[in-house]
Structure 1
Amino acid sequence: MDSPKTIDELMVRAESMSGRSIGEIAQLMQIEVPASLTRKKGWQGQMIEKFLGADSGNLSQPDFSLLDIELKTLPIDYNGKVLESTYVCVLNLYNNLDDETFGCWQLSAVYRKLQHVLWVPVARTAGQSVTEFRVATPFLWRPSEAEMHLLKMDWENAIELVSLGKIDQLNARDGEVLQVRPKAANSKVLTRTTNRQGQLIETLPRGFYLRPQFTQQILAQNLKLS
């Protein structure tokens, strides 16, 4: 599907998914639904991207480049509880270390992607087939000044550790709303970074993730959940 040219056009498409099952949407697109998402974790998001006309692929810019809007699917249960953290983008551990923009919040992928987000909540329950997952009400979100401050603080703390070669101190427990976690298909996938002595080493790739508690607040605020 062509990329939407206006926010109204995007929201018409998004709202047309509301209440539909993943199976129904896949049928409209003539796409086969996998039996499980265990080994195809990105399938659901990719299908929704295609349905809505996202055009950025794996680039660091927002999914809808003409609108500067990022798309994020949000797994929830049927009571509206967020089930897992939300991947934002990769944490570049090596290529940007000599870049003068490295450490600049306003130029970061996290900042660009979270400026304006279209959230698509998808409800599911344990043991339910992927075809029965159901899209709840999509909504647009812009972080408040307070939310943006929290995101910036967590991002800066992570970037500082990388810049100092303290990759070993990056911990998923750190970060109030934004955490850093390994991002790789398996333990054999490695990327380069530098240690405290400035030596090149190999380590697991990392990614930025929004904590479930944070996305739960966003969901509650926008869908008026109790």
Structure 2
Amino acid sequence: MILSIVPRPSPPPRSEEELMARANALAGRTLGEVAQEYSLIPLGGWRHNKGWIGMLIEHVLGASAASRPEPDFPLLSVELKTIPVGRTGRPLESTFVCAVPLAGDIAADWRQSNIFRKLARVLWMPFESERTIPFEARRIGSPLLWSPSPPEEALLERDWGMLMDRVICGQVEEISASEGEYLQIRPKATKATARRSVIGIDGEREMLLPRGFYLRPSFTAAILARYYS
């Protein structure tokens, strides 16, 4: 566990308006202030921990999907994405979306895929992540409730189709993080114990590390720039 105590989370919001009211109430506040209010202090004191930040904001906003393959707010079909930004408001890293299906139920159509469900409606919660700012003093930014425009969706679908063609053909190990203009595939874990059995390019079973879909910073930077400008 990365939290010293785990109090009862907020109840799930019943509407987008209620969700945005909670999110707007966090804007401008520091991670330390919110953590103190909700009694969610990291074990071992303050330190950079992206997983803890996501857990804190999920707890406060009432996200209830946990690790299930559905949006974080199932009743609203809204996904929550915390995004670390620099002083200029630009994202500092790529954004994990969801796991890449390496076996079993692989959607043949973009609109039937889990990644489409995750990105159809997203609540972006930016937060300061400059290393020069003390962890507990980093502020949460203004929230943005976003759905991809037709051009944005077309770009994502194009990258998804290209990458999933490689997956279906058993070329998972050959996929480079440089592939995809706005959407990329990268390993999601490094431990050998996390490997999963999948069918490789030669039709034989292989043990591979799980992969994840990530949005490149150039894509999320364009979203935030339009909103904050």
TM-score by length of 1: 0.92
Counterpart-to-counterpart distance in 2, 1:80 and 1:41: 17
Native 8 Å contact 1:172 1:180 kept in 2: yes
Structural mapping, 1:41-190, within 5 Å: 41-96=50-105, 102-190=107-195
> Which of 36, 44, 47 is the matching residue for 1:36?
47
Partners of 1:124 and 1:132 within 8 A in 2: no
**1:121, 1:137 within 8 Å by CA — same for their partners in 2?**
yes
Q: Whole-Å Cα distance in 2 between the matches of residues 119 and 184 of structure 1?
A: 24
- Aligned AA (1:77): G
What's the offset of the Cα at 1:46? 1.1
**Quick one: structure 1 residues 41 and 188, their matched pair in 2 at CA, closer, same or farther if it must change by over 3 Å?**
farther
Q: Would the aligned equivalents of 2:190 and 2:209 in 1 still touch at CA under 8 Å?
A: no
C-alpha distance in 2 between matches for 1:195 and 1:66: 37
Measured after TM superposition, the shift of residue 185 of structure 1 is 4.8
Residues 168 and 124 of structure 1, relative CA distance in 2, 3 Å threshold: closer
Code of the residue aligned with 2:116 in structure 1: it is Y
After TM superposition, give the deviation of residue 187 of structure 1 in Å.
4.5
Q: 1:158 & 1:194 partners in 2: Cα distance?
A: 16
Q: What runs of 5+ residues in structure 1 fail to find an aligned partner?
A: none
The one-letter code matched in structure 2 to 1:49 is: E
What is the CA-CA distance between 1:96 and the residue it aligns to?
2.5
Decide whether the 8 Å contact of 1:180 with 1:209 is kept in 2.
yes
Secondary structure of 2:71's match? coil
**Aligned counterpart, 2:198:** 193
Work out whether residues 89 and 207 of structure 1, in 8 Å CA contact, stay in contact via their aligned partners in 2.
Answer: yes
Q: Offset of 1:188 from its aligned partner?
A: 4.3
- How many positions carry a matched residue from both structures? 218
Question: Partner letter of residue 47 of structure 2?
Answer: S
Q: CA RMSD in A?
A: 1.3
